[in-house]
Amino acid sequence: MADISTAPTRLTLTPGPWAVRARRFSEIAKKVLSNPTTLIGLIIIVALLALAFLAPVLTTPNVPDPYQMPRDWGARDAPPGTPGHPLGTTSTGGDVFYGVLWGARTSLQLSVIVVSITVTVGVIVGSLAGFIGGKVDEILMRLVDVLLAIPELIFALAIAAVLGPSFGNIIFALSVVFWVKYARITRGQIIHVKQNEYVDAAHVTGDSKFRIYLKDVLPNSVTPVMVQATLDMGGIVLTAATLSFIGLAQAGLAEWGVLVSDGQAGISAGKWWASTFPGMMVFLWALAFNLVGDGLRDVLDPRTENR
């Protein structure tokens, strides 16, 4: 390639004062935003989040539990544009508009909770394995291998089926399934980073293992985890929706998956709205996070595979 090349090179956060790190971040941000598809993804995300946050303003929350669909048994299958039901109602008289908005909230809750649980657990386990190494590493990684051998959805399905379909159980099932990847990623990164000279240097200067871990190792392991987390934000909602389709969902919950599968029979008879709007939302949600995640991955580590 020409001496003066603009070919993308692998960017990873290098150690050093926060100033340096901050600059790297802004560089990365620039690169990420320069990709229109990522930008689109971000815009969609912002829009969806706005919906989620404005839900209590745009609709009158259902008492006592706003996450329950308000049902107007009198007005079933009302088409979009019906007064009081801008997007129509479901076959149980649930207001689709309400479902779409509070569904966004449900999805946000779900994905944020699950992601934060899984990232924490995964990073801790991965760090232990990667940093302590030896027997611990051996054992933990075998466990990870075992869990990775069962395809996500199927594992979640099996667990949720045993636990029963409450929102909490779904969260639990998803958490059990999704933490594994982070453990593997973190470990891989840490092992990789540990080999870099500056860690040895730190050793020489006699920093405590833990300090080194916090100061040098962890920050440099963040990026792939970040990517995976972004992708999972979408994947989790998609998986949850699939579980509800198969029949594992909390009754009457304002959740997109529930609405889609309830509304589907209607499509064939022309009542497309009950499942199309929530379906679109699931699609947009997953699409947006996948686009952003993909963009991030292109910039941060083009070759990482998510397993």
Partner 1 sequence: MTATADTAPAQATIPLVASVNDLRVHFQSRAGMVHAVDGVSFDIRDGETLGLVGETGCGKSVTARAFIRLVASPPGVYAGGQIQFWSSETRITGAGPVDLLAIPHRDMLDIRGDRIAMIFQDPGKALNPALSIGSQIAEVFYQHRSEELLKALGPNPSWIVRRAANQESMGFERFFLRFPPLRGQMAKLRQRVDRLVAQALAEVQIPNPRKIMDSYPHELSGGMKQRILIAQALACNPDLLIADEPTTALDVTIQARILQLIAELKERHETSVLYISHDLSLVREICNRVAVMYAGRIVEIGDTDEIFRNPTHPYTQGLMAAVPSATHKRGQLAAIEGTVPELVDPAPSCRFSTRCPYAVELCHSVDPPLIPVASGHGSACFAYADPHSLGVRPDELPSLDRRTR
Partner 2 sequence: MIFPLIIVGTSIIVFSLSRVGGNPIAIYIEHEMSAEEVAELEDRYGLNDPLPIQYLAWARGVVTGDMGWSAVSAQPVTEALFSRLGATLEMSIFAAVVAVTSGIGLGTFGGARRDRLPDHLTRVFSISGASMPIFWFAILLLILFWVNLGWFSTGRSDPAIFGSITHPTGLYTFDAILAGNLNALRDAIWHLILPAVTLGFGATAIIARMMRSSLVEELNEDYVDAARAKGLPERLVLRRHARRNALIPTVTVIGLGFGFLLQGTVVVEIIFRWPGIGRWMADAVLRGDQATIMAYVLFTSVLFLTVNLIVDVMYAYLDRRVVLGA
Partner 3 sequence: MGSTERSRRRRFWSGFAILALVIAACTGGTTTETTGGTAAPGDTTAPSETTPPDTGSPDTTSADTTPDTGGEVVNPGLYVHAADDEPLSLDPAQVAAGEAGETIIIQVYERLVEIGPGGPDLIPSLSSEVPTVENGLISEDGLTYTFPIREGVVFHDGSELTADVVKFSWDRALTMDLPEGNSSVLSDLVASTEVDGNNLVVTLNERNAAFLNSVVTAAVASIVSQEAVEANGGVEAGVVNEYFASNMVGTGPYTLTAWNRGENIQLEIFPDYWGEPAKLDVRIDQVADSDVRALGLQAGDYDSIETDPTFIGDIEGAEGITIFSGDFLLEPVHMGMNMNIPEGALPPEDTIPVDFFHDVNVRRGFNLAFNYQDFVEGAMAGLGGPIPHYLPQGMLGFDESLPQFETDLAAAEEAFREAGYWDEGFTMTVLAEEGGIFELAGLVLKDSMTALNPAFQINVLAVVEAQFDSAHAEDPFQYAAWIKNADPFADPAALFAAYIHPDGEWGSVHNFRNAYADPDQIASLVDEAAVELDQDRRVEIYQELAQLLFDDPVWLIPGNERALMAHRDWVQNFDMNPLWPRPSLKFVYFDK
Residue with tokens 């009950």: 274
Residue 1 interacts with partner 2 (CB under 8 A)? Answer: yes
Verify binding: residue 9, partner 1, rule CB under 8 A.
no
H/E stretch holding 101 reads helix 96-127
Residue 307 Cβ vs partner 3, minimum distance, rounded to whole Å: 24
Question: Hey, what long-range contacts does 146-153 have (CB within 8 A, 24 or more apart)?
Answer: 147/177, 147/180, 148/180, 148/181, 148/184, 148/307, 152/177, 152/178, 152/235, 152/239, 153/239, 153/242
Buried b / exposed e over 171-192, threshold 16 CB at 10 Å, is bbbbbbbbbbbbbbbbbbbbbe
Decide: 301 and 12 in contact? Cβ < 8 Å. yes
Contact mark string toward partner 2, 199..238, x via CB under 8 A: -----------------------------------x---x
Q: Among 1-9, 90-98, 162-170, 242-250, which window interacts with partner 1 (CB under 8 A)?
A: 1-9
Secondary structure of residue 10 in the 3-state scheme: coil
Task: Note whether 6 binds partner 1 by CB under 8 A.
Answer: yes
Of 92 and 109, nearer to partner 3 (C-beta) is 92
> How many residues does this entry show for the chain?
307
Residue closer to partner 2 by CB (options 190, 292) is 292
Residue type, 73: W
Choose, by CB under 8 A, the member of 117, 143, 191, 222 that binds partner 2: 143
CA distances from 42 to 48, 108, 119, 193, 297 (A): 10, 15, 21, 30, 14
Query: In terms of CB distance, is 143 or 163 closer to partner 3?
Result: 163
Distances (CA, A) of 106 to 51, 69, 143, 186, 296: 11, 12, 31, 29, 25
Residue 276 engages partner 3 in binding (rule: CB under 8 A): yes
Nearer to partner 1, 31 or 71 (CB): 31
Report the site for partner 2 in 271-290 (rule: CB under 8 A).
Answer: 275, 279, 282-283, 286-287, 290
User: Distance (Å, rounded) from C-alpha 261 to C-alpha 245?
Assistant: 5
> Is 4 among the residues that bind partner 1 (CB under 8 A)?
yes
For position 15 contacting partner 3 by CB under 8 A, the verdict is no
* 242 is a site residue for partner 3 (CB under 8 A): no
Q: Which pair of tokens denotes residue 41?
A: 């993804």
**Per CB under 8 A, 36 contacts partner 2:** yes
Q: Is 61 near partner 3 (CB under 8 A)?
A: no
Q: Which of 3, 70, 227, 142 is nearest to 235 (CA)?
A: 227
Contacts with partner 2 by CB under 8 A lie at 1, 7, 35-37, 40, 142-143, 145-147, 149-155, 157-159, 161-163, 234, 238, 241-242, 245-248, 257, 260-261, 264, 267-268, 275, 279, 282-283, 286-287, 290-291, 294, 298, 302-303, 305-307
Contacts with partner 1 by CB under 8 A lie at 1-4, 6
Contacts with partner 3 by CB under 8 A lie at 63-64, 68, 71, 73-74, 76-77, 79-80, 91-93, 161, 164-166, 247-252, 264-273, 276
